[in-house]
């Protein structure tokens, strides 16, 4: 029973992390679309050089990438649990 409860808590944490990432991604897209629109309206796209919205998009994008990896690739027990269950299934199929 305790093992199931621990697994449920772990799955809940993973689900919350992934939901938080999706909200972060939507916010990133909306805000950066607004920054690019503001740049386009104020300069008409005629300004030479690097457009300024690239810098907040780049910096925030790095943070977003870390958030993604934390939400989707940071489950230290996930591989261990899968391997353990795989070994249990193999033993059960052999009748051990």
- The model's pLDDT over 20-73, given as tens digits with 9 standing for 90+, comes to 999 999 999 999 999 999 999 998 767 778 899 999 999 999 999 999 999 888
Give the model's pLDDT for residue 96.
58
Residue 23: per-residue pLDDT: 97
pLDDT of residue 1: 47
Rg (CA), the chain: 22
**pLDDT given for residue 85 in this prediction:** 72
With beta carbons less than 8 A apart as the criterion, state whether 86 and 46 touch. Answer: no
């Amino acid at each position: 029973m305790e093992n199931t409860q621990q697994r449920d808590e772990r799955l809940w944490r993973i689900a919350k992390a992934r939901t938080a990432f999706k909200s972060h991604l939507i916010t990133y897209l909306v805000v950066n679309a607004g920054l690019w629109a503001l740049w386009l309206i104020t300069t008409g796209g005629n300004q030479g050089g690097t457009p300024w919205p690239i810098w907040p998009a780049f910096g925030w994008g790095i943070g977003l990438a870390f958030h993604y990896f934390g939400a989707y690739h940071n489950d230290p027990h996930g591989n261990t649990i899968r391997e353990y269950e795989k070994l249990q299934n193999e033993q059960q199929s052999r009748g051990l």
